[in-house]
Amino acid sequence: MHRKSDRSGNAQNESWMRLHCYMTGALTLAAAVLELIMAFALNRIKGFVNAEPVPYIIKYLITPVTINCVLVLVGMLAMKSRWLSRQTRQTMVSLCMAGVCLVLYGVHSLFPALILLPVVAIMLTTSYGDYRLTSITAGVCLLGVPVVDLLVVWDSTQRRRLENTENQINWLLSIVMLLGCYLLCLASIYYERQRIQQAARQEWELRRDGLTGLLNRTALNDRLGQLCAGGQGVLVMVDLDGFKQLNDTMGHLKGDACLQKVAAILRSRAGEEAAFRYGGDEFCLVFHAPELRRIVQACEQIGRSLEEMEDFSPCRVGASFGVAEYRPGMTPAQLLKNADSALYRAKEKRGSVCLWKEQTE
C-alpha cells in the first residue's frame, strides 16, 4: 500500500512539475505583453517615462525578457532531463520560477505590489510537499529581494524606495511578509502530510483483516483484477485442516491465536503482499510468476510449518491447497472458482496440494 501511495505521489509531482514549468513560461510571456501595453500607456502620460523609445524597449522589454527566457529554458531542460534526480529537477524548476519573479520585481521597482511575485514563487513549491525545496526557494527569495532593492539600480525611481522612514518600514514589512509566507507554507506542508498519512492509515485498515493483519477480501479482488489484466499468475486457496476441532475443543481465543500464527507463517513463506485472508479459516495466496513447481513446493513447506506448530496440542492443524493458474480470457471469478474446485479435491486427501486442470471440470 505504501509503495502504491509513493508511486501515485511521484506521478502527481511529475505532473505538477510540468505545470510549474509551464506557469514560469506563461508568466514570462504575460509580463512581456503587459510591458508592451504599459510602455504605450505610460508614454502617453507626459513626464512619466523620460527614456527614449528604443533604450526603453531594450532596458525594460528585451533585456528582462531575454533573462527570463533563459531561465524558462533552463527549467524546461531540467524538467525533461533523464540524468538528474526528481528532487534536483523540482528544485531547478522552482528556482527558475523564483528567478523570473525576482527579475520582474527588480525591473519594475516602481510597483511595490510586485513583492507578491516572490510570494507566489514560494507558495507554488508547497504542492511538492518537500520542506527542503520550499526552504531553498524561500531562502533565494528572501536573499534576492534585499539584493535587488539595495544593490541593483535598474530604475531611477528605485532610489526612492528606501529614502524615507515610511518607505523603509514598508520594505521591512515586505520582508516580514515573505518570511511569514514561508512559515505558512511549511505549516501547510506539515498538515497536508498529516492528512495523507491519515488517509493512508485508513486505506490500510480498510484493506487489512483486523485479526490476522493480512490483506482482506477487498484487496484480494483488486489483486485478482490486476493478475487477470497482466495475463499471468497463480491463485492458491488454503483451507485449514483440524481448525474446527481446535476451536470447539480449546475455545475461540485459542482459535484466534491459531489464525494469527497461520498468518505469520503465510507472510514468511509467501510475502506480505501475497497473502490474503479469504474468510473464516480460508486463506489465499497470489503469485504473479506462473512457476507451478516452486509454488507447489512453497505450499508443501507451509503445510509442514503448520503441522509443526506446538502451541495447540493435543489438536493438530494442517492445510489443504487448491492451485489454479490463470488462462487467457479468465475473469477473477472464474479463477477463484477453479482454485476452489482444486481445493475441494485437495480436502478429500487432507493436507495435499491439488492443481486445477481444465479437463477435470
Active site positions, annotated: 281
Strand 318-325 relative to strand 353-355: parallel, antiparallel, unpaired?
A: parallel
Half-sphere exposure of 159 (CA within 13 A, CB side): 1
In the three-class reduction of DSSP (H, G, I as helix; E, B as strand; rest coil), residue 322 is classed as: strand
Beta-bridge mates of residue 324:
235
Please write down the long-range contacts of 15-19, taking CB distance under 8 Å and 24 or more positions apart. 16/127, 16/128, 17/79, 17/89, 17/90, 17/93, 17/128, 18/79
Backbone angles phi, psi at 290, to 5 degrees: -80, 60
Concatenated DSSP letters of 188-254: HHHHHHHHHHHHHHHHHHHTB-TTT-SB-HHHHHHHHHHHHHHT--EEEEEEEESHHHHHHHH-HHH
Cell of 55: 533604450
Measured CA to CA, the distance from residue 231 to residue 350 in angstroms comes to: 31
Cell 484487496 maps to which residue? 219
Q: Is 51 exposed, middle or buried (0-12, 13-18, 19+ CB in 10 A)?
A: middle
Strand 234-241 relative to strand 318-325: parallel, antiparallel, unpaired?
A: antiparallel
